[in-house]
Amino acid sequence: MVSSATMLSLSEPSNDFSILILAIFWYLWTFTNPKKGTTMVAALPPGPRGVPILGSIPFLGTNLHKSFSELAHRYGPIYKLWLGEKLCVVITSPSLAKQVVRDQDSVLSNRDAPIAALVASYGGIDIAWSPSGSHWRNMLKIFVREMLSNSSLDFWFNAVLSMLWGSTFDSQRVSTTSGRLVAKFRAGTGKIMEILGKPNVSEFFPVLARFDFQGFEREIKLVLVDVARIFDSVIDARVKMGTGDSDEAHKPEVMKKVQEELSDIVGINNIVEESHLPKLLFLDTVMKETLRLHTALPLLVPRSPNQSCIVGEYTIPEGTKLLLNVWAMHRESKVWDNPSEFRPEKFLGDHNKWDYTGNNFQYLPFESGQRIVGENR
């Protein structure tokens, strides 16, 4: 006969097991089920781990948009990577781009200005780099009123042509002085764009910014002095009185069609007027295809959320550098036939579907949202 002591000793393991099961259920109920009135914090996007201190910097090439496109094939349309101490999130999906530039534009409209841009814009106070707010809105109103009126656009169009061809668009001769100015201006603006496009170690390690190890800040200040002198000389004269090979140059049949259209609609030796533009349909397709393949800013202007937000079910912390890789989106084979080939015919048919104001998130040559100035005209 089994004694009571023996029975008690046999039941102890069973009691311990029951307590363990209850503890597991309590833990799962407490920590995996959100309480009423609380929300679960979304995880950060996936991405490469990188190496200590440097992050993913050693593994990226000089053409960041191409390196980022390759990473998207591995980690998906939204992913994170560390560039030194800076958290960066890259998006290559039109649907996610819509969340950034349209659905949450008020949260994600601030700019993450690199040091070179801050120097070039005298502290980030211009319309491109200043934070969204009253100062930016006032500048936008002035810009739209004073710069985007038809008379102002005509003036600046003629001013640019004057710099490129001499005194006026109708001039048949290019002066030597103007030629030198054009060469200096091209060299200066080209150098600024080159510096803006280079990875700057001071961006990834802010503690090193004051040392300017790569000399970018010092170099861009010198370039700005030269560019300012050029503008001063052009303005004084007025008061007193490209990147890469052209695609159409390698497509003579495209150039011929453009020339024929201009001849038929505008006429030989006549100047293109704004009223002609709606009729120049093939020229419009050539412009759109050129901007698709050669977007001026392949990653657009970096954004930075003014507070943590959710994009594509992932958390984007405040202060993150957010990049839209439109270079990759414009080469998405699911959207574009033969995406690497220059074929303006892609845009024939529905001209309103592919505009320049970012209404179609598969085509964003000039971004979208409140920071695209042309849309506020």
Q: Where are the domains of the chain?
A: 115-241
Backbone angles phi, psi at 101, to 5 degrees: -90, -10
Task: Convert 219-236 to b/e letters by CB count within 10 Å (16 or more is b).
Answer: bbeebbeebeebeeebee
The per-residue pLDDT for 361 is 93
The per-residue pLDDT for 292 is 94
Long-range contacts for 258-267 (Cβ within 8 Å, ≥24 apart)?
Answer: 258/282, 258/283, 258/286
The answer to whether residues 227 and 190 touch, using CB atoms and an 8 Å cutoff, is: no
The predicted model gives 131-140 an average pLDDT of 82
The answer to whether residues 85 and 205 touch, using CB atoms and an 8 Å cutoff, is: yes
The per-residue pLDDT for 336 is 92
Per-residue pLDDT for 153 more than 60?
Answer: no
The answer to whether residues 143 and 135 touch, using CB atoms and an 8 Å cutoff, is: no
Comparing CA positions, the residue from 95, 89, 55 lying closest to residue 75 is 89
* CA angle 298–328–115, rounded 5-degree value: 30
The answer to whether residues 326 and 295 touch, using CB atoms and an 8 Å cutoff, is: yes
Structure tokens at 177: 């002085």
What distances in angstroms separate CA 262 from CA 183, 239, 275, one per listed residue? 29, 34, 13
pLDDT in tens, 64-77: 999 999 999 999 99
Comparing CA positions, the residue from 338, 343, 340, 344 lying closest to residue 280 is 344
Per-residue pLDDT for 6 more than 60?
Answer: no
pLDDT in tens, 214-228: 888 888 888 877 777
Region of residue 332 (phi > 0: left; psi between -120 and 50: alpha; otherwise: beta): beta
The answer to whether residues 79 and 47 touch, using CB atoms and an 8 Å cutoff, is: yes
Q: What is the mean pLDDT of the chain?
A: 78
| HEC readout, 74-134 | HHCCEEEEEECCEEEEEECCHHHHHHHHHHCHHHHCCECCCHHHHHHCCCCCCCCCCCCCH
Q: How far apart are the first and last CA of the chain?
A: 98
Q: How far apart are CA 358 and CA 351, in angstroms?
A: 13
Region of residue 274 (phi > 0: left; psi between -120 and 50: alpha; otherwise: beta): alpha
What predicted TM-score, i.e. pTM, was given to this entire model? 0.67
The per-residue pLDDT for 317 is 95
Question: Where does the pLDDT of residue 171 fall: very low under 50, low under 70, confident under 90, or very high at 90 and above?
Answer: very low
